[in-house]
Amino acid sequence: MDSLREWIDQVEAMGELVRVAEPVDWDQEAGAISYLAGKTAGNPAILFERIKGRSARRAPSPGGAW
């Protein structure tokens, strides 16, 4: 894979991507959602489509970094 976009496409095709379309707070809700996803069987990748106060989408790394 040459880009994050390709990785996202591949993970989505495998059924392992969760898209969060509702607006979320980056400092509270996104962190909580990421934490809970890490505790979920299969540990799905998450793509936040709308983060309040941010102009771009975010996909946190498994370690929780933005």
Condensed to tens digits (0 to 9), the pLDDT of residues 1-48 reads 688 889 889 999 999 999 999 999 988 898 899 899 888 888 888 999
Cβ count within 10 A of residue 54: 14
pLDDT score recorded for residue 51? 87
CB 39 within 8 A of CB 11: no
The domain limits of the chain are: 1-66
61 pLDDT tier (thresholds 50, 70, 90): low
